[in-house]
Amino acid sequence: MEKKAIGVGLMGLGVVAGQVARVLVDRADELAGKVGCPLVLRKIKVLPQDLSRPLAGELPAGLFTTDDGEFFRAPGIDIIVEAIGGENPAFEYHKRALASGRHVVTSNKELIAKHGPELLALAQEHGVGLQYEASVGGGIPLIAPFKHDLIANRISGIFAIINGTTNYVLTRIAR
């Protein structure tokens, strides 16, 4: 049976999450063409102060919730995109999402660094995916090429500075 739509739940409304929301709304037709069915933004979990952000005024008010339970009970969410950052409460949110059979996409560096293996095991246990490409190298596609495209190569090490803040500081020092 072909899926009619893929429901997306978004956590956060900062720079990363805000752009995810904009792309899902503004480029809905283009994404549907590429994916093969619509990607529908169903619910956005925010902090109360996020409701005063300009983007919150541009999207339908019914999309937003500050309540964890309401977010996780929202019907039709297949994928949860977490862009709140930090270890807590993101770790509990990830565990809850994966255990409920939802795929998770995150840009959370700290969470993947501290709990990646545990979360990947939980995802595998529940037959869902945990994707975290954007949490490495500021979204530079590194993980997928190493896991899939370069699998026949024997890569023994990678040396780079891939943190934006570190690059900024080192550039300032060099100048």
**112 contacts 135 by C-beta, under 8 angstroms:** yes
- Residue-level length of the chain: 175
- Domains of the chain (ranges, CATH numbers): 6-135 (3.40.50.720)
Q: Give tens-digit pLDDT for 44-67.
A: 999 999 999 988 899 988 999 999
User: Residue 41: helix, strand or coil by DSSP?
Assistant: strand
**53 contacts 61 by C-beta, under 8 angstroms:** no
pTM listed for this prediction:
0.78
The backbone torsions φ and ψ at residue 27, rounded to the nearest 5 degrees and listed phi first, read -115, 30
Q: Give tens-digit pLDDT for 61-120.
A: 899 999 999 999 999 999 999 999 889 999 999 999 999 999 999 988 889 889 999 999
User: Residue 139: helix, strand or coil by DSSP?
Assistant: helix
Query: In which element (H, E) is residue 125 found?
Result: helix 109-125
